[in-house]
Structure formats: C-alpha cells, structure tokens
Amino acid sequence: MKRAPDIKSVLEADVQRLTEALMTGRISLPDGRGLADVGLTEADIYYELELRKQLGKPVRSTETVAGLIEPYLEWVRLHQAEKTYRDKKKMLFAHLLGFFGNMYPDFIDRSLVDAYKQKRIAEIQLVGRYEGKRAVNLEVLCLQALIKWAHEHGLCSEPPVRTRQLPYRRPLPQPLTYAETRAFIDACEPFYRALMLCLYHAGLRKHEAFKLMDTDLYFEAGLVRVAGKGDRERYVPMSAMLKDALLSVVRPGLVFPSPRTGRVLVDVRRAIERAKKKSGLTRRIYPHLLRHSFATHLLEAGNDIRSIQVLMGHQEITTTQIYTQVAMPHLKHVIASLEAGCHDVVTAGYKEGVTGPRNPLILKAGDESRTHDLLITNKSVKKKRA
C-alpha cells in the first residue's frame, strides 16, 4: 500500500520550488504559460508563497496593506510635512502597493522585504535610474512606517520587521568654483538672480526659497526667516548683495511667485539653462548645487563647521561634515601651513595677496586675510590679535 505524502513535506517542496523559480526568473505554469498569460504578477506568487509558509496561522490583521494606505496618508498629511506626504504617497502608490497591496501586515516578514529589494534593484538597473539603493531603502522605511502606524492604531498585531538597509554611500557633491558661481549668477535675470542668491548667499534649500514670504524678510535687521525641514525655523543673515537683489523683486505675498501662475514656484530648470547658455557654462547645475557651494566655500574660507551647521539648518552636525571631505584639498593646504610657519607665504607659485579656489590661504606678517568669494567685495579684514 502506497503511503500518503506528508503534507508538511509537500508544502516545503512547493515553497522551495517557488523560491527557486522567483530567484532565477523562471516563473511559469506547468502548461508553459507565463504569469502575464493568466493575469498574474510576481507579487501574487510571493503572496501565495508566504501564505503557504504561514499555513495554519490565523490572520490577525484586519486590513491588507492596500486598505491601510489611504487612512495612513491622511494621518501623514495631518502630522507630517507636506513634502513628506508627497514623497510617501508616490512611493506607496508607485511601488509598494503593487507588491505588498494584497498582503496582511502581519505576514510581511524579512524574506518578503528582501525579495522586494531584489525586485526593485532589478527594475532600477533596467531603466537606468540613478537613485538605486538609496531609493529602495527609503521605500522600505516608508513601508515600515505604515506598518508601525497600523500597529499603534490596533490595525495589526505585529510591529514591522527590522531589516538591514542596502549599503549606500552618498556621492560627494561637486560644488561650483568661485568663478563659475559668479558667472552663473550674473547671467541670471533679476528675478532668478535674487532666487539663486538666496541659495548661495543664505544657503536656503530650493523649497525654502520658493515659499519665502515678504513677511520673512527683515531688511532693517538684515535677516531672513526660514521655515526649514520639520517646520524648524531659523534666521539667516542677509548679505548686502542679497539684500539689494531682494529689494528689487520683493512684493506683497510670495517673494518668488511663479511668473505663469502666480502661485508657489515649482520648476526653475529653464531659467538655469538660459543662464548657463549666457554664461558659457556646460557642467550640470541644479538649485541644490548652489547650497553645496555655499557650505563648501564657507568652510574653505576658514569658518567653523558648527556655524555652517546653523546656517544650513542641519539637525545633525554629521550632515554638515560631508563638506569637510569636499574641501579636503583646502584643509590639507591649511595643515601644510604649519610647516611653513605662520609668518611665511604658504602658497608659493600663486599670485601674491590674492586667494582663490587653488589658493585658499595666505598667512603673512600683519595677520591680514582677504576673501576669495568673488561675489563679496574683496576687502581686507583685520583679524583680532590673540
């Protein structure tokens, strides 16, 4: 008499077969038809795989991921920043819903999250997107935030699983040189020149500058009030050049309204391309690059990193420390000055008395230093004697 197969062994074999098919891309039905022929997706197969693994376990979640998305986004809209809401909505509907939508949060384990990572990395490499691993890490964090919210509101029994992030190192920014910065900003039309100076002379983020109101400008005190990330407010000093540029364009309400709609400005790519063409620059320029240049040039000018952190609105100083790597050639030059002595010219070979990107430090008798920011009047500044 033939012995009946053990149901556990059969399920384990099915799980192994499905897993191998998914990992090797050989996903097809016994009759040779593919998933698309019967209206199935890889997400359906993953879901069936997980259900088989969880056979016998009760469904403790009251809603699938798809059913949780809308109430979760309403909560995000109410409690988090507008940009956070937009980013999470995009990640949930564009990527996470298609994979996890039919799953119950309690069934989403580490293996499913790892499978999602593999799938997304393959998709990103296929279309040549540049975000790569960082984008996938953000999507997984978004999923974990949704499940955490559901757990705290009694909509599922288990908290989100913890997974390791994909290894990612953010590339170092390549700031503009001083000559490039001046050429680019001088080539901008008055309206966009004031906007770009907000990014370079005050270190504002793009969306911070776009939302500036006339009530945020304190011309008598020389300050700009900035509503930063997480609704954290900071005040940034206003340079004379920035003040003049803002006075020439300021009006009641938004400082930089869209010329087409009158509402909040959305895109400045065309204005940037016009300025690039007029200035003769060919390298890639985008708004945040001016903020990178702001921090790098301040550091090269000898300003302490704590002051730069405050001006940039960074919550953690580790975020600001990236600019110490960008300015490393200058910092090495500072160290070299120790060997030369504080009363010697340590930049032999460059034009005496003038600083620049390749000549950031000159120490001479008299303790006199001069800025190499071409957008600031080149006045000698007497340093206080100890």
Please tell me the distance from the alpha carbon of residue 329 to that of residue 366, in angstroms, as a whole number: 25
Structural tokens at position 31? 């009759």
**Which residues are catalytically annotated?**
205, 229, 288, 291, 314, 323
300-310 burial code (b ≥16 CB/10 A, e <16): bbeeeeeebbe
The answer to whether residues 251 and 214 touch, using CB atoms and an 8 Å cutoff, is yes
Beta-bridge mates of residue 370 = 380
Please report, as a single letter, which amino acid is at residue 11. Answer: L
- Residue 230: Cβ-neighbour burial (10 angstroms; 0-12, 13-18, 19+): exposed
Say which residues have a Cβ less than 8 Å from residue 203's Cβ, sequence separation at least 6: 236, 291, 294, 295, 311, 312, 313
Q: What are φ and ψ of residue 225, in 5° steps?
A: -90, 130
- Rounded to 10 degrees, the C-alpha dihedral 238/240/242/248 comes to 120
Residues 293, 200 contacting (CB under 8 angstroms): yes
Strand partners, 217: 224
Give the C-alpha distances (Å, rounded to integers) separating 346 from 177, 194, 302, 340, 349. Answer: 21, 37, 15, 6, 9
What are the percentages of helix, strand and coil residues in the chain, rounded to 5? 55, 5, 40
Of the candidates 140, 136, 114, 115, which has an alpha carbon nearest to the alpha carbon of residue 125?
Answer: 136
C-beta neighbour count of 334 within 10 angstroms: 15
d(CA 108, CA 205): 37
Is residue 67 a contact partner of residue 103, using CB atoms and an 8 Å limit?
Answer: no
d(CA 262, CA 271): 16
Which three-class secondary structure state does DSSP give residue 202? coil
